[in-house]
Chains A and B, each alone.
Chain A
Amino acid sequence: MKISFPYMGTSPLVVSYLFENLGHEVVCPPVPTEKTLSLGVQYAPEFACIPFKIVLGTYLEVLEMGAEVLITSGGCGPCRAGFYGELHRRILRDLGYPVEMIIMEPPLREPLDFLRKVYRLLKPAKLSNLYHVFRVAVEKMLSLDEIESTMHKLRPLAYNKKLITKAYSEGLEMIRQADSVKEVKEAKQATLEALWRVPANHEYEPLRVGLIGEIYVVLEPAANHDIERILGDMGVYVHRSIFLSEWVRYNVLGSGEKHIRASAIPYLNQMIGGHGQNSVGEVVRYAEKGFDGVIQLAPFTCIPEIVAKSILPAISRDKDIPVLTLFLDEQTGQAGIETRLEAFVDLIKQKRRKREAS
């Protein structure tokens, strides 16, 4: 069986490696493009969110490439994404793709179901090989996140932003090819050195912006108009609230992002699904860390982020931190995003100038 999965940020590199080395035939999903989105929009309900549409588009692309089994995450609400796997399966079935969907539900909720699915995915693997494969996959995930965060730190400082983009994409390729923990570490080291070698003004203190919101639109440049690059090219340092490795550490291996939720409690004392409570908590944390501003990315019609948005003005006032919310869907124009980002950067620049003057 040929397996495939949704595309999100740099994760396909890790997931492909994992499944291939567990002995599966993998169809690696291509980077989502306008075509992917159009495909998804064509077959998705109009008011489903943009992650649903891009993922559906990706599924249609990988099915054309020969995929037979799709692996995705489940969830138990209140965010709608918990139903997306099932809804995708039915839409694909109606379109004439008798695809099998393996939906990974939260392990503690349905332990037996989870173990059965894991067993199925591990079945073709050689037992002796398992530890090695997981070790390399984890190392790749950690390295990718370290490379990416370094890239975002250096981009605003670099004189020629294109050199950063080039060093970064060459680094991704090196990580992709690496086949042992040692090779991954070497690839990471080489990439970090290449990034640091790009001529840059290390004296420059860029404006610092925190990026929060729903995980898919925060992690996937195709969904957010490559906002981190746009801001980085404008000389702004963007700190992303979500990295895959951290997310896995807190949500799969640990007991949730308690520290972030604790920060949210004075404003929102309960889970509202998705990343709603996290978004509230993250703004508080960014304010306390002295960031110049926060940008919230939300899929259009996303209830958890709408709830969070309505709370953010209070935090913005209490903690004196500007917040810009961008709702994203297939109708969102690049020009509108850029105008708002430029105006927001002007706003926080003036604010910093005023603070420095006083």
Chain B
Amino acid sequence: MLGYLGVDVGSVSTNLVVIDDQGKVLVDLYLRTRGQPIQVVQEGLRQVEKAIKGKNIEICGVGTTGSARTLSGVIVGADTVKNEITAHAVAASHILPGVQTVLEIGGQDSKIILLRDGVVVDFAMNTVCAAGTGSFLDHQASRLNIPIEEFGALALESTSPVRIAGRCSVFAESDMVHKQQMGHSLPDIIAGLCDALVRNYLNNVGKGKEILPPVVFQGGVAANVGIRAAFEKALGLEVIVPEYYSVMGAIGAALLAKAATKDKGNTKFRGFVVSELDYQASSFECQGCPNCCEIVNISVDGEILARWGGRCGKWDTLPKTG
């Protein structure tokens, strides 16, 4: 059977999926990046290899996305290296043809994508503040000593959510502390936080955008039923969370890899053996001009595989991605 591998390396999570020729998900993995993108991609490949062992699946295309898309693209040997907005849009319209709005909240960024007739017509990403993202929720959950998995469900128990300033994560936190000290119940505070986060998202990322149904909500934060309920309340629309909501970027990358390899018929995939190679990343500061660019070298067994980070192109050996 033909399989296509999608790799999405983000700030918080690294996701890998294998899809078949019809776009059906065969394997899906959600791992924590923990600031070590190379190791986590290798670990992911090891697990994927194990999962497809004996199932006669041949990987004939690989795509990468996410903030470490260039790095992971070099490591696995990607056929496509795509930005996460396109990858998420491709995945959403594959899972739900006719989708018109994609809400995506990940670890460190959040985005909105508008599609009409299957084509992306507008998008936006958060620019100024990270208050509306998964890292902040993670932080608050651990501060309140509640497992992040139960965080959203608690919000649903609330009868009267408190109002929390959601503009900035620092102010939101001090406001939450204040509300706790005042004696509000935990579910009311968490529900208030969900409302604040959604309000912040809609006022910043979603500003001026025409949000039409069907609305799909994906990214790690879509696991949070409290946030989903807050979105439904604020929008007055049903919000659909797809089955593979947390790995949609990787599904998009795999679908793009399938499209990219369809014409040329071969793949640049370096094989599962790369999970055992010794990749090293090193960096130095170029002294060529006062820009002092930080140049990164990626090498395997002492041989430089790729290099980036320079402004003038003097050090670049990598072809630019699109």
Contact = CB atoms under 8 A, between A and B. Distances in A.
Interface of A: 33-36, 162, 165, 226, 233-234, 310, 313, 316, 322, 327, 335-336, 338-340, 342-347, 350-351, 354
B210 to A, nearest CB: 8
15 contacts: A33-B290, A33-B291, A33-B292, A35-B290, A36-B290, A162-B313, A234-B322, A310-B208, A327-B127, A342-B321, A343-B85, A343-B86, A346-B82, A350-B120, A354-B117
B122 A322 contact: yes
Nearest to B320: A233
B322 A345 contact: yes
Contact of B121 (A33, A233, A347): A347
Contacts of A327: 127
Interface in B98-131: 117, 119-123, 125, 127
| Interface majority SS (helix, strand, loop, mixed), chain A | helix
A322 B121 contact: yes
Contact of A339 (B83, B208, B313): B83
B290 A342 contact: no
Question: Which of A313, A345, A346 has most chain B Cβ within 10 Å?
Answer: A346
Contacts of A340: 85, 125
A342 B83 contact: yes
A305 to B, nearest CB: 14
Given A33-B289, A35-B291, A165-B313, 16 more contacts: A34-B292, A233-B320, A310-B208, A322-B121, A322-B122, A336-B127, A338-B83, A340-B125, A342-B82, A342-B321, A343-B86, A343-B120, A346-B85, A346-B86, A347-B120, A347-B123
B292 A35 contact: yes
A339 B120 contact: no
Taking residues whose C-beta sits less than 8 angstroms from the other chain, chain B's interface range is: 20 to 34
Contacts of B86: 342-343, 346
A163 to B, nearest CB: 12
B283 interface: no
B311 interface: yes
A33 B291 CA distance: 5
A144 B127 CA distance: 35
Contacts of A342: 82-83, 85-86, 321-322
B43 to A, nearest CB: 24
List 7 tightest A-B contacts by C-beta distance, closest first: A343-B85, A35-B290, A33-B290, A342-B83, A346-B86, A33-B291, A313-B208
Contacts of B123: 343-344, 347
Nearest to B125: A340
Nearest to A33: B290
A233 B318 CA distance: 13
A351 B89 CA distance: 14
A327 B204 CA distance: 13
Nearest to B123: A343
A172 to B, nearest CB: 15
Nearest to A225: B311
